[in-house]
Homo-oligomer: A and B are copies of this chain.
Amino acid sequence: MEIPIETSGRHTHLSQKDLEKLFGKGYKLRKMKNLYQPSDFAAKETVDIQGEGTRVLTLRVIGPIRNKTQVELSKTDAIFLGMAVPLKESGDINGTPGAVLIGPENKVKIKEGVINSQRHIHCSIKEAKRTGLKDRMLVSVQTEGPGSITFHNVLVKVKENYRLCMHLDTDEGNAACITRKGKGKILLN
């Protein structure tokens, strides 16, 4: 069963509160482009993240606004910033490290929310019925070519407004020689 693959560069989701601290009172995200997941868009806005030292990386803001601010870094990013960033499912930020985010208006010190996102598959309810994928299932996905890899522990997430696609971070994509888009084969364990 074939599945499209996309790599996600480092990015941040923002709460309305943090957005307004970073960009000013009443600020609203401006859409730059729609993403393959109908639920999400890349905003025109970026913010910087400062790690333990003086090193800084720039993060694309991904909309829409969420209840909690969450920063997603690759392990390479985390090592560059001198941060110990745990592998976590998106949304599961309890006890994760914080960081300083820097916007044009102000800095915000978030107390938690920096993660290395667990590789996952987005899937609509209809696609789940068609493919046999179930919400919260762990599957393996094999890629092709000289960089061929089988990724295990891929978390399936089923929601109405999702669209069948596997998300890797840039380290995982690079390891499989996939730069932005690729494809794989789902192996049901």
Contact = CB atoms under 8 A, between A and B. Distances in A.
Copies in the complex: 2
A74 interface: yes
A75 B174 CA distance: 6
A170 to B, nearest CB: 7
A171 B151 CA distance: 14
A175 B172 contact: yes
Which applies to chain A's interface (DSSP): helix, strand, loop or mixed? mixed
Interface of A: 74-76, 79, 87, 118, 140, 142, 146-153, 168-172, 174-177, 179
A76 B169 CA distance: 11
A77 to B, nearest CB: 9
